Chain A
Amino acid sequence: EAGVTQFPSHSVIEKGQTVTLRCDPISGHDNLYWYRRVMGKEIKFLLHFVKESKQDESGMPNNRFLAERTGGTYSTLKVQPAELEDSGVYFCASSQWGLAGTGELFFGEGSRLTVL
């Protein structure tokens, strides 16, 4: 069974440019989460989808970040325009039942974003 896949694995862009990160969850997993880790800091929650609906987007830093999950399958996270402080590793995770079920999130390997 394929795991959570994320693309690209590493992206280097200049301040002011746009980047789109993609996450393909495990097939059949309705719950999809985005997290971010800035170097040396904790892994911070960004948002949670249940199918195509945003269940909780309380962690989104500002309106430069836009997450979508059309059709309830893969998700994209767009940063436009990117700022220096957006650099970090963006993790995607999925689960079938959310934390009320097994409590386990399955993570992708992350997309490292470097903003110069």
Chain B
Amino acid sequence: AQSVSQHNHHVILSEAASLELGCNYSYGGTVNLFWYVQYPGQHLQLLLKYFSGDPLVKGIKGFEAEFIKSKFSFNLRKPSVQWSDTAEYFCAVNQGNRDDKIIFGKGTRLHILP
């Protein structure tokens, strides 16, 4: 069964620091990849997604992620974080054309110090 691993469960950074959240998945076939975010008191929402094409994907609020097929990775990055980025971030994968569900990782809680 496919799985998604997020390396960091809790990350604390100061404002303006650079961010990289690790994500690896286990499925070897065609995959679609996602990062979802849940801000405090809000619902889960899509941050960015990769289906095909350029492996460097740009999302909302200055986030980007790079798909490295050889490493089964889809790490999330942001060059300079803000206090408002405090949230929980979830990496997720869908098995391409095989099925229509998303498998989530355990999430990373990001806390930005003002």
A residues adjacent to B (C-beta < 8 A)? 3-4, 31, 33, 35, 40-45, 48, 55-56, 59, 91, 93, 98-100, 103-105, 107-110
Distance of A91 Cα from B38 Cα, bound (Å)? 12
Distance of A32 Cα from B101 Cα, bound (Å)? 10
Question: Are B104 and A42 in touch, CB under 8 angstroms?
Answer: yes
Write 18 A-B pairs (CB below 8 A) sorted by A numbering.
Answer: A33-B101, A40-B106, A42-B4, A42-B105, A43-B44, A45-B101, A48-B100, A99-B32, A103-B32, A103-B49, A103-B94, A104-B46, A104-B49, A105-B102, A107-B36, A107-B45, A108-B43, A109-B42
Question: Are A3 and B100 in touch, CB under 8 angstroms?
Answer: no
Q: Which of B34, B43, B45, B105 contacts A103 (CB 8 A)?
A: B34
Determine whether B27 belongs to the interface, using a CB cutoff of 8 Å to chain A.
no
Question: Are A99 and B106 in touch, CB under 8 angstroms?
Answer: no
In the complex, the number of residue pairs spanning A and B with C-beta atoms less than 8 Å apart equals 55
Distance of A44 Cα from B103 Cα, bound (Å)? 7
Interface of A is mostly: mixed
Q: Find chain A residues with CB under 8 A from B104 CB.
A: 35, 42-44
For chain B, give the interface size range: 20 to 34
Q: Find chain B residues with CB under 8 A from A31 CB.
A: 100
Instruction: Return the chain A residue nearest B41 by Cβ.
Output: A109
Question: Are A3 and B51 in touch, CB under 8 angstroms?
Answer: no
Query: A-facing mask of B92-114, CB < 8 A → 1, else 0?
Result: 00100101111111110000000
10 closest cross-chain pairs (CB), A and B? A107-B44, A43-B104, A42-B106, A109-B43, A107-B43, A104-B46, A98-B100, A45-B101, A99-B100, A99-B94
Instruction: Return the chain B residue nearest A44 by Cβ.
Output: B104
Q: Find chain A residues with CB under 8 A from B97 CB.
A: 100
Q: Find chain A residues with CB under 8 A from B51 CB.
A: 103
Q: Tell me whether A45 and B43 are in contact in the complex, defined as CB-CB below 8 angstroms, given that A103-B32, A103-B49, A103-B94 are known contacts.
A: no
Distance of A35 Cα from B34 Cα, bound (Å)? 16
Distance of A59 Cα from B94 Cα, bound (Å)? 15
Instruction: Return the chain A residue nearest B91 by Cβ.
Output: A42
Q: For B34, B43, B51, which residue has the most chain A Cβ atoms within 10 angstroms?
A: B43
